[in-house]
């Protein structure tokens, strides 16, 4: 005799969250690890520009040059750790 799995409300909520996260990541073309998005908040352009004391134009130039970014709701966001890694990579002597 086979047992039948009947999902509860919590299962449905978890599945919906996972599906939305996957869709958002795929639409952005940036696949991030699930761990980084849950432990590190996304920061706005203004927050990153303020933290690093640069203009929004400079931040946009960094983005064009390869700084990882994420779009949500038509806005651009960054992960602090990725900005730091990008800047360390750019300041390495060659």
Q: What is the pLDDT of residues 9-51, one digit of tens each?
A: 888 888 888 888 777 766 655 545 444 545 788 999 999 999 9
Domain that holds residue 53: 33-91
pLDDT at 30: 52
Lowest mean pLDDT among 32-36, 54-58, 75-79: 32-36
pLDDT at 6: 83
Q: Is residue 5 part of a domain?
A: no
The average pLDDT across 45-67 equals 94
Q: Is residue 72 part of a domain?
A: yes
How many folded domains does the chain comprise? 1
Six token digits for residue 49: 């520009």
Q: Is residue 81 part of a domain?
A: yes
Return the SS3 of 11.
Answer: helix
- Yes or no: say if 49 and 55 are a contact pair by the CB < 8 Å rule: yes
Q: Is residue 13 part of a domain?
A: no
CA distance 28 to 84: 21
CATH number, domain with residue 60: 1.10.10
Is the pTM above the cut of 0.85? no
The average pLDDT across 72-76 equals 89
Q: Is residue 57 part of a domain?
A: yes
Q: Is residue 56 part of a domain?
A: yes
Q: Is residue 67 part of a domain?
A: yes
Q: How far apart are the first and last CA of the chain?
A: 67
């Amino acid at each position: 005799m086979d047992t039948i799995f009947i999902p509860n409300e919590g299962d449905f909520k978890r599945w919906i969250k996972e599906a939305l996260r996957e869709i958002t990541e795929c639409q952005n073309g940036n696949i991030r690890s699930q761990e980084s998005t849950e432990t590190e908040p996304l920061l706005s352009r203004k927050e990153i520009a303020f933290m690093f004391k640069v203009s929004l134009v400079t931040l946009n130039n960094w983005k064009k040059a390869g700084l990882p970014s994420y779009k949500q709701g038509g806005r651009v966001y960054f992960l602090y750790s990725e900005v730091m890694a990008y800047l360390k990579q750019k300041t390495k002597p060659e």
